[in-house]
A and B are shown apart, each in its own frame.
Chain A
Amino acid sequence: MQVTVNGQTHDIDADPQMPLLWALREVLNLTGTKYGCGIAQCGACTVHVDGMAVRSCQLRLGDLNGEVTTIEGLGQPQALHAVQAAWIDHQVAQCGYCQSGQVMSAAALLMLNASPTDQDIDRAMSGNLCRCATYPRIRAAVHDAARRLAGS
């Protein structure tokens, strides 16, 4: 079957029941998207499908209908997305394992809502679990990213 990830179309031979997460990580070797829980409780596997945040552990390949963007496609170390730049300036990550999902959720929120309030952020981002509890810096970085996007 064909899947389009970060602008590139791949022909993959995979079980349509396999969730997108495993196709990304173990078939396409795009390991920026993380496995944390497998049941949409942690958000570490968040990607965008046609711009909307989706937990890729829940989306079966056979049900995928749209273009996938992963953390690797959002921005690169040499060409950062505004959210990633804010994440770095605020030194958000500790262990960092959840942060791909946090960044993808924040980027999706800012597409829906260009200047979210603290309450909006708390509503949009509480499905992304951070076991290191980097939350104060996540809040600050989302606001910062909103300002960067507004200014660009």
Chain B
Amino acid sequence: MSRAGRIARRGFLIGSAAVLGGVAFGAWRYGRPLPDPFMGDLPQGQSALNPYVLIDGEGVTLIAPRADKGQGSRWMQAALIAEELDVDPATARIEAGPVSAAYYNTSVLGESLPFRPTDRGWLAEAARGAVDVPSRLLGFQITGGSSSAPDSFEKLRLAGAVARETLKQAAALREGLDRKDLSTADGAVILPDGRAIPYTQLATEAAQIDPIDQVVLRDKSQWRWLGRKMRRGDIVAKSTGTQVYGADLRLPDMLYASVRAVPQGGRITSLDSADAEQMRGVRRVLQIGEAVAVIAETSWHAMQALQAVDLQWAAPDTAGNQDQIWDSLTQALDQGDVDSRLRNDGDVEAALADGQPVTAEYRVPFLAHAPLEPMNATVRVDADRCEIWTGTQVPDFVVSHVADLTGLPQDAITLHNQMMGGSFGRRLELDFIMQAVRIAAEMPGQPIQMIWSRAEDFTHDQPRPAQIARGRGLADKTGIRALDLAVASPSVTASWFGRVWMAPPGPDNTITAGAWDQPFAIPDYRVTGHRAAETVPVSSWRSVGASANGFFHGSFMDELFDAAGIDPLQGLIDACDDRVSRLVLEELRELSGWTGRDLRPGRGRGVAFCLSFGVPCAEVVEVTETPQGIRLDRAFAVADIGTVLDPVNAEAQLSGGMLFGLGHAMNCELTYRDHMPQQTNYHAYQAMRLYQAPQVQVRLLENGPVRGLGEPGVPPAAPALANAIHAATGMRVRELPMTRQLRFA
């Protein structure tokens, strides 16, 4: 039977359970059991809870429930458990864990609250605590919002510590000793006489006793793995081609499939597949919803046959051309309907009426996620069960939607979450998985791997929305006096929730995330969100609202500093009203050797800051104007994530986030014509490539709360580059991608 411990930390309980041949340690919450992921697979009479640690005769298994899209979260989660458990994470087996509402994510919804992330007052903290409630109700097992680190930081270490102390207790009982005289090391309990009893030999005994719940987490000064240079457990496999991603899964007698869908919201009016059906290797041509699917011997045969299908469709009744979409955004700004105004300090209108405001309008385009592994899912549907292998950030939603689609009960659906070849938010969507289930349902018992062509991936993404912002402001020698920013965007939150569950009522705070919540004291300061009509479906793209608002806010602050003749980095430091953020800016000044924005003729540097997902991040970019175009020479980034759990990986995330932001700002856009993006592959979406990548230096600070770093490196990159180009050339880039106006070397 499960034995729930009595420690309640932030509303969860660590307990233990007997499992076949061993013991599991994990978390209960509020004493209210949620569906138990291991119950189904365990022999009768045995029970388990949502485990983080499984120990049996074979060894130690660490369970990392947050999906890994490449950001290394699986490894980080394992290291958190291993640190307290005294197991070398390199020797442990690491598994993703089954789908369970028990692995709920308390951090991801915190971003949507109307409290500035730097606001650590009682009201804000209380509200963050209350977010627990909706996320519990929803039972989210979501990977997103850079939430894995804060969500896991305490929970997983507690699980490791409870497991360690309980194993010690089991050893103490066996040997007739006192637990406090025992210690642990390298997966074993060490007795006072020096003998070591491996955990694997204590597992069944540990399962019989009440878990030891009075544990004290170790101070970071005692850490052996966390905070030190670790090697991620997946890197050898990823360097040798032996890492199995979803698309690499091979089941006996598996067939392949691919699809061609009409534009989202469109409707098939006619479909002629006679030629495709005659093609070599083709098994079936099907219509599944508003798409045609080919099942074939290989995905190449399937993709070839899809091109031979004559597919006619009727357009959705939304705007499907880029000009109309820009018009809808302009209209949202002009009409003045306010969706949110979370920042409204002083009296902006009065202040601006008093002077000659600086004004600017900015535009950012639709952006595709385009992770390198195309969307895919492998599915086998039988009469009474359905098995799915895919990489997803939302396993709970997959199971519930597949249950609805197939009519099977949720416990008849098994989801094996796969290592993902990137996501950037793309795998928050269910579209491709549902297609794969529909296809497999047509051939019961037959495993089928459905994989999209890259063209399908580009033309059926739910992109980061195009957005427009207008700034008005005043600055003098003392700094920015007034800043008014209005942002128009369709609601990513409503669009996505509308697809996976139901659109929530009320304003969408992500429309101004990364702008309204910035730690600056400006006497008259206002940020307004205007919700534009949804034209094409949109979704979360790495750093979400801040991906655009970082550019708007960071660019406009630079324009105001420039107008007042203020050094932009000094201006940011002087305006900053948050200690942790100010330290980031000061560290960046030192790291980048900042001496001002002008370097010498034809060279310049820019700086920008954005606080997103609770992480203050500031970046400097240096550029040179060359005959071949603008060259990025060096880039610097500093961020504060409270505690650096894995320095090697954290540096990679910050560097990668910054370069990801730079590459898209330079080179990328989706433009719609007839409801489809005109960009169908990477030839028209070059992003960042090696030759355009500047030299990078990053530094991480540890002054704030524990935060994740998957996204915060992105938002400051575009404005830092735009500001650098202005410093070098005098040209103000207010529209992305920058290649609309200039060329890069």
Chain A interface residues toward B at CB < 8 A: 15, 18-19, 22, 25-27, 29, 31-39, 41-42, 44, 70-72, 75-77, 80, 84, 87-88, 91-100, 103, 121-123, 125-126, 128-139
Contact = CB atoms under 8 A, between A and B. Distances in A.
A96 B238 CA distance: 5
Contact of A133 (B247, B374, B453, B659): B659
Contacts of B242: 32, 72, 76-77
A123 B692 CA distance: 11
A89 to B, nearest CB: 9
B240 A36 contact: no
B421 interface: yes
A26 B298 contact: yes
Contacts of B424: 131
B8 interface: no
A133 B372 contact: no
Contact of B687 (A80, A91, A131): A131
A18 B234 contact: no
In the complex, the 9 A-B pairs of residues with the closest C-beta atoms, listed nearest first? A32-B241, A95-B70, A97-B421, A96-B238, A71-B241, A133-B659, A31-B248, A93-B238, A135-B693
25 contacts: A22-B299, A31-B247, A31-B248, A35-B247, A36-B374, A41-B682, A41-B683, A42-B682, A71-B240, A77-B240, A77-B242, A84-B239, A93-B235, A94-B653, A95-B70, A95-B71, A95-B422, A96-B421, A97-B70, A97-B371, A97-B422, A99-B238, A122-B691, A123-B691, A136-B695
Nearest to B296: A26
B372 A76 contact: no
A71 B242 CA distance: 9
Nearest to A134: B656
A47 B310 CA distance: 35
B238 A133 contact: no
Contact of B371 (A26, A70, A80, A131): A131
B373 A133 contact: no
- For chain B, the bracket of interface size reads 35 or more
Contacts of B236: 77, 88
B443 interface: no
A93 B72 CA distance: 9
Contact of A95 (B370, B420, B453): B420
Given A91-B235, A91-B648, A94-B652, A44 B372 contact: yes
Given A95-B420, A129-B687, A135-B693, A36 B241 contact: no
A36 B303 CA distance: 14
B649 interface: yes
A100 B256 CA distance: 23
B591 to A, nearest CB: 15
Interface in B585-634: none
Contacts of A94: 70-72, 652-653, 656
B696 A126 contact: no
Secondary structure at chain A's binding surface: helix, strand, loop or mixed? loop
Interface in B183-210: none
Interface string B219-255: 0000000000001101111111111110110100000
B32 interface: no
B241 A72 contact: yes
A15 B683 CA distance: 27
Nearest to B232: A91
Contact of A18 (B238, B247, B300, B656): B300
B401 interface: no
Kindly name the residue among A42, A70, A133, A136 whose own CB sees the greatest number of chain B CB atoms within 10 A: A133
A22 B301 CA distance: 9
A70 B248 CA distance: 15
Given A36-B373, A94-B70, A77 B247 contact: no
Given A95-B421, A134-B656, A103 B239 contact: yes
B237 A129 contact: no
B689 interface: yes
Contacts of B423: 95
A132 B454 CA distance: 17
A133 B422 CA distance: 11
Interface of B: 69-72, 231-232, 234-245, 247-248, 250, 256, 280-281, 298-301, 303, 370-374, 420-424, 451, 453-454, 648-649, 652-653, 655-656, 659-660, 663, 681-683, 687-691, 693, 695-696
Given A95-B422, A129-B682, A121 B239 contact: no
Contact of A38 (B240, B371, B453): B453
Given A31-B247, A135-B690, 6 more contacts: A26-B300, A84-B239, A87-B239, A94-B652, A97-B70, A128-B690
Contacts of A139: 690
A91 B231 contact: yes
B370 to A, nearest CB: 7
Contacts of A122: 690-691
B690 A121 contact: yes
A98 B372 contact: yes
Which of A80, A125, A136 lies at the interface centre, i.e. has the most chain B CB atoms within 10 A of its CB? A136
Contact of A33 (B241, B303, B422): B241
B240 A76 contact: yes
A136 B696 contact: yes
A136 B634 CA distance: 11
A132 B422 contact: yes
A145 B217 CA distance: 41
B283 to A, nearest CB: 14
A32 to B, nearest CB: 2
Contacts of A91: 231-232, 235, 648-649, 652
Given A26-B299, A95-B373, A133-B688, A37 B681 contact: yes
Nearest to A86: B239
Contacts of B687: 129, 131
B372 A97 contact: yes
A35 to B, nearest CB: 7
A77 B237 contact: yes
Nearest to B683: A41
Contacts of B238: 93, 96, 99
A21 B434 CA distance: 27
A133 B240 contact: no
A19 B300 contact: yes
A88 B691 contact: no
Contacts of B69: 95
A38 B424 CA distance: 21
B693 A133 contact: yes
A137 B688 CA distance: 14
B372 A34 contact: yes
A138 B690 contact: yes
Contact of B659 (A97, A98, A135): A135
Nearest to B713: A133
B372 A129 contact: yes
Nearest to B655: A136
B241 A132 contact: no
A121 B653 CA distance: 23
B713 to A, nearest CB: 10
A75 B722 CA distance: 43
Nearest to B256: A26
Contact of B300 (A22, A93, A129, A136): A22
Contacts of A44: 372
A134 B696 CA distance: 11
A75 B239 CA distance: 9
B372 A36 contact: yes
A113 B420 CA distance: 33
Contact of B689 (A103, A129, A137): A129
B241 A100 contact: yes
B303, B423, B656, most chain A CB atoms within 10 A: B656
B373 A88 contact: no
Nearest to B370: A131
A118 to B, nearest CB: 9
B298 to A, nearest CB: 4
Contacts of B690: 121-122, 125-126, 128, 130, 135, 138-139
Nearest to A119: B691
Nearest to A128: B690
